[in-house]
Amino acid sequence: MSWKLECEQGKLAPHETRVILVRHGQSTFNTEGRYQGSSDESVLTEFGRNTARQTGEFLNGLSIDALYVSSLRRALTTASEILAQIYPSIDPTNIHVDRQLREIDLPAWHGLYHQDVQKRFPEDYHCWKQHPDRFIMLDPNTKKQSYPVRDLYDRANQFWQHTLPHHGGETIMLVSHAGTIRALISTACNLSPGDYHSLRQSNCGISVLKFSQKNITEPQLEVLNYTEHLTAQLQTSTV
């Protein structure tokens, strides 16, 4: 827990930024084994709310200068539960709802059960798992093709480039999703989209990056998917 002690001391140089990344709590689609993507049907379970509160209790006392949260309900509820436990609270003017932090776009699979996707789209599923950087999806509504993982990495890069310059010498928190947090960590640490599935992020798991404004492409990864603050059984990502 040395990373938390460092956070509590709050001794960042003016050119440094610490980023605390938190995945949302368990959702209804998590328990049902369904793909969520960027759809907004899924909501937190009571278990998910409880672990979000545990996360807030654990982070209580840290000096957090700004909060950025995904625009999807499961992340917004998680952030609300965390904020209710944190003292000192974050200035409301420094709370930002950001669509760039929403989950990966998987329009053809939204709401489908994992086992059904494997049966109905075996070739696509194989590519998704083995070669995520090459994975293509056709939107059933717009009929447009996209590269979901590549697009997510582009979005993550844009978030870093736009956000970090505003927070020199500060600690900020992001509440987002498993896939998006993977992309944020990967783009920061120069990991390829082909390695998308190599990272895991549990519900309410905490990861921490420390950036230097002098070189934002080589941050220090202080902790990855920390879950020791949670007392209940965890659910890792299946995105």
Closest residue by Cα to residue 68 from 27, 29, 34, 17:
17
| Residue 218 confidence class, pLDDT cut points 50, 70, 90 | confident
pLDDT at 234 over 70: no
pLDDT at residue 232, as a whole number: 64
Q: What is the pLDDT of residue 148?
A: 98
Q: Please answer whether residues 74 and 106 qualify as being in contact, where contact means their C-beta atoms are separated by less than 8 angstroms.
A: no
pLDDT of 48 over the 60 cut: yes
pLDDT interval class at 8 (50, 70, 90) = confident
Q: How confident is the model at residue 2 (pLDDT cuts 50, 70, 90)?
A: low
Write down the domain spans for the chain.
Answer: 2-104+151-226
Residue 1: its pLDDT value, please?
A: 57
Instruction: Give the per-residue pLDDT at 129.
Output: 97
Whether residue 236 is predicted with pLDDT greater than 70 in this model: the reply is no
Q: Which amino acid is at 93?
A: T
CB burial string 33-62: b at 16+ within 10 A, e below: ebbbbbbbebebbebbbbbbbbbbebbeeb
CA distances from 142 to 73, 108, 170, 210 (A): 24, 11, 41, 39
Beta bridge partners of 211: 17
How high is the pLDDT of residue 19? 97
- Residues with active-site annotation: 24, 103
Six-digit token pair at 177? Answer: 């999703």
SS3 content of the chain, % helix, strand, coil (to 5): 40, 20, 35
| Cis before 88 (ω within 30) | yes
Confidence of residue 233 (pLDDT cuts 50, 70, 90): low
Supply the DSSP string of 70-94, one letter for each residue: ESSHHHHHHHHHHHTT-SSPPPGGG
The CATH code belonging to domain 2-104+151-226 is 3.40.50.1240
d(CA 63, CA 10): 7
Long-range contacts of 215-223 (CB under 8 A, 24+ apart): 216/160, 216/161, 216/164, 216/188, 217/188, 217/190, 218/189, 218/190, 219/19, 219/188, 219/189, 221/185, 221/189, 222/3, 222/6, 222/18, 223/3
pTM of the full predicted structure? 0.94
pLDDT of residue 161: 94
Is residue 47 within 8 A of residue 81, CB to CB? The reply is no
Mean pLDDT of all residues belonging to the chain: 93
Q: Which of 27-36, 39-48, 101-110, 215-224 has the lowest mean pLDDT?
A: 215-224
- Report the candidate in 215, 214, 223, 209 with the shortest Cα–Cα distance to residue 174: 209
Q: Mind listing the pLDDT tens digit for each residue in 81-119? A: 999 999 888 999 999 999 999 999 999 999 999 999 999
